[in-house]
Structure 1
Amino acid sequence: MTLKDQTKLLFAKELETMLKTIPMDKIRIVDLCKRCDTIPQTFYYHFHDKYELVAWIFLYDFSLIYGDKKPEYSITSIKRNLIQMEKRKTFYQRTYTDHSQNSINQYIQKFNIASAKAAVENFYQTKLTSEQEYAIKYHSYGSMGLFNEWLNNLSSITIEELATFQYQHTPEFLKVAYQNYSFRNSKIFK
């Protein structure tokens, strides 16, 4: 792991610790940096704001599952991703309830749609049709709604059930595209 990534992880771990007792909107970069024994300039070298750090944490967790060289989109990979997110459940609960313009909910929604579009266009070597775009958005909005219920214990759905349901309801054209798409080589991780 590079020194740059180690520094980002330091900020990520401390933000996660802070969120256990402090609401997201009350966290200040100055306080985060003091706890990390560094200066704000170091933080701003890596991130524009705390919301970009939250997005980086999501991408970090996502990359642990989907950052492999060999593409995989299956019930198993979705389940592994949910298990990874469950390890930081309090973090995701606290950041997910933030409804600012840079909320993690909006970020993940945009991420899901952008990565789906990229996968489809890459695999089929053609521009996305309007119908495909609507299907992607419909799937993403529904998946995120169920994810929110699971995350906040508003439903009795288990990780296994959520992963299975999400996979089974992924549009077929998107399943095929995801099963042949290397997230590692995409712009997402650059």
Structure 2
Amino acid sequence: MGMNEHDQTKYIFAQSIKDLMAKQPLDKITVTDIVKHSGMTRQTFYRYFQDKYDLVNWYFEKLADKSFRQIGNSSTLKEGLVKKFTFLLNDQIFFMQAFQSKDYNNVENYDYQCILEFYKQIIHNKIGDIPEDIMFLLKMYCHGSITMTVEWAIRGMKESPEMIADLLIDALPPKLEDLLSDLR
């Protein structure tokens, strides 16, 4: 599948911010830095992105499509989670930095929304409307999952994707486990 020129341009900015993130925290990087490093114009940057967080989230989205979104094609939650953590590990510098950002539009909040929607969809497909008690457990579980994912990333991703997946599955509340243990 060929990339269109818009995506190619966006990837140039993504590569630029990744290079910069290898040297300094995301919150300190400016659009000017990104533009200079990429050799593109400021105008071009703003044609595609509102700000640097928009760029980071776009890149996260692209990575998610290649990995996390494939969870639905996995037969078990474990397979899906291992895919997700493997993809984070493959872009370790980027995610260690991205997850340290405290901006409201950061990847942490974005990832929370992604997994919440994803799990809601699975549960909805199985039981229809989601009761309030299950919704509460799901939100709480997603918050906990993301917090632990961020901690894992920031500490340098020492545990294997398999181990983190197992730990997150162990942490599932029993009512959710019944609904999420197999994804089909």
Q: TM-score, normalised by structure 1?
A: 0.80
2:98 is the alignment partner of 1:92: no
> Is contact 2:126–2:179 with CA below 8 Å preserved after alignment?
no
Deviations 1:101-159 (A, max 9, x none): 212212211222123223333x1473321112112112212212221232122786432
Using the alignment, how far apart are the partners of 1:54 and 1:61 within structure 2?
11
What aligned pairs does 1:27-176 form with structure 2 within 5 A after superposition? 27-68=29-70, 71-72=73-74, 73-121=76-124, 123-124=125-126, 126-153=128-155, 157-170=159-172, 171=176, 172-176=178-182
Question: What does residue 183 of structure 1 align with?
Answer: none
2:43 is the alignment partner of 1:25: no
CA distance 1:11–1:154, change in 2 (3 Å): closer
Using the alignment, how far apart are the partners of 1:125 and 1:33 within structure 2?
48
Q: Which runs of 5+ in 1 are unaligned?
A: 181-190
Offset at residue 19 of structure 1 (A): 0.8
Q: How many residues align?
A: 177
Deviations 1:7-56 (A, max 9, x none): 22111111011011122122111221222121122222222111111111
Q: Which runs of 5+ in 2 are unaligned?
A: none
Q: TM-score, normalised by structure 2?
A: 0.83
> Is contact 1:61–1:81 with CA below 8 Å preserved after alignment?
no
CA distance 1:100–1:164, change in 2 (3 Å): same
Instruction: Give secondary structure in 2 for the equivalent of 1:127.
Output: coil
Offset at residue 169 of structure 1 (A): 4.2
Using the alignment, how far apart are the partners of 1:149 and 1:26 within structure 2?
21
Using the alignment, how far apart are the partners of 1:125 and 1:52 within structure 2?
34
Using the alignment, how far apart are the partners of 2:41 and 2:157 within structure 1?
42
Question: What does residue 15 of structure 1 align with?
Answer: 17
CA distance 1:107–1:18, change in 2 (3 Å): same
Aligned amino acid, residue 180 of structure 2: L
> Is contact 1:150–1:158 with CA below 8 Å preserved after alignment?
no
Moved over 6 A (4+): none
Aligned amino acid, residue 109 of structure 2: Q
RMSD: 2.4
> Is contact 2:89–2:157 with CA below 8 Å preserved after alignment?
no
CA distance 1:66–1:90, change in 2 (3 Å): closer
CA distance 1:3–1:173, change in 2 (3 Å): same
